[in-house]
């Protein structure tokens, strides 16, 4: 049985099954990337809910795993060389799990890098921009008298959706017929933008054709449906 006691995070979130991958997360657009990936691949894992509304990602035990204080993070007891591996940053975790399982990331080098570029597109553009729209449209930012920040982020999010719309024309998934980590990276964010954030009208979502169809296909996947609710909120 693997010994995870060297990881301080296990003091606050004990591992009932230390032989399984440990997921520390919440069902947010970034968090569900990893839970969906785990459900798609079938890797045995144990999910621990980190209450970000209660600032649990900033407690010392969590910061020992991710000094950036963000979810998700993992400990894989069966990491490279059979040694436990701790990882944070959802994009890095997606790549790691894809390479660990040999799934959801093309083996062909050219297509592999093409997939990774779309993962980085989500990490560097979709996530930050959609998140800003969420803040300024739904949360504290809506009280700001100056509406220029909201308009700036809404305009950029509209443009980014246009990039996705063009990419998906004639394709079932971001990489064509193959569902990959590029799709997993973006599904939760697009879903949140028009759902939880309620910003569909703001970004002219109804004018799109390819993106809504892609989102519907993605959300119809059983593993995606399961992953969207993991870890379960208490």
Q: Does residue 232 lie within any of the structural domains?
A: no
pLDDT digits (tens, 9 = 90+) for 86-97: 999 999 999 999
Q: Does residue 182 lie within any of the structural domains?
A: yes
41 pLDDT more than 80: yes
In the chain, % of residues over pLDDT 90: 95
Q: Does residue 165 lie within any of the structural domains?
A: yes
CA atoms within 13 A on the CB side of 160: 24
Q: Where are the alpha helices (DSSP H) in the chain?
A: 9-12, 31-41, 60-63, 90-101, 109-121, 127-138, 148-168, 181-194, 210-219, 222-227
Q: Does residue 184 lie within any of the structural domains?
A: yes
Question: In terms of domains, do 65 and 113 share one?
Answer: no
pLDDT digits (tens, 9 = 90+) for 154-167: 999 999 999 999 99
Question: Of 51, 83, 103, which closes a domain?
Answer: 103
148 pLDDT more than 80: yes
Reported pTM:
0.96
Q: What is the DSSP string of 194-233?
A: HTTS--TTTTTGGG-SHHHHHHHHHHTSHHHHHHTT-SPP
Range of the domain at 172: 109-221
Given pLDDT bands bounded at 50, 70 and 90, which one contains residue 141? Answer: confident
Question: In terms of domains, do 115 and 98 share one?
Answer: no
Pair 194, 200: CB distance under 8 Å: yes
CATH number for the domain that contains residue 70: 3.40.30.10
Question: In terms of domains, do 116 and 215 share one?
Answer: yes
Number of compact structural domains in the chain: 2
Question: Of 103, 119, 144, which closes a domain?
Answer: 103
- State the chain's mean pLDDT as an integer: 97
């Amino acid at each position: 049985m693997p010994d995870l006691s060297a990881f301080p995070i296990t003091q606050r979130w004990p591992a009932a099954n230390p032989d399984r991958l440990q997921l520390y997360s919440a069902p947010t657009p970034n968090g569900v990337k990893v839970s969906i990936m785990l459900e798609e691949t079938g890797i045995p894992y144990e999910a621990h809910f980190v209450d970000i509304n209660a600032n649990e990602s900033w407690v010392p035990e969590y910061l020992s795993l991710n000094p950036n204080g963000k979810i998700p993070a993992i400990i894989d007891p069966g990491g490279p060389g059979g040694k436990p591996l701790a990882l944070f940053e959802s994009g890095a975790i997606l790549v790691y799990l894809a390479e660990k399982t040999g799934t959801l990331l093309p083996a062909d080098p050219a297509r592999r890098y093409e997939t990774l570029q779309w993962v980085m597109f989500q990490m560097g553009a979709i996530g930050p921009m959609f998140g800003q729209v969420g803040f300024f449209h739904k949360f504290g930012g809506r009280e700001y008298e100056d509406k220029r920040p909201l308009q700036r982020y809404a305009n950029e999010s509209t443009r980014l959706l246009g990039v996705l719309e063009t990419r998906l024309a004639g394709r079932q998934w971001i990489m064509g017929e193959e569902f990959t980590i590029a799709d997993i990276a973006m599904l939760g964010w697009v879903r949140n933008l028009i759902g939880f954030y309620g910003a569909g009208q703001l970004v002219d979502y109804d004018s799109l054709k390819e993106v809504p169809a892609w989102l519907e296909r993605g959300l119809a996947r059983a593993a995606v449906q399961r992953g969207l609710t993991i870890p379960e909120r208490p």
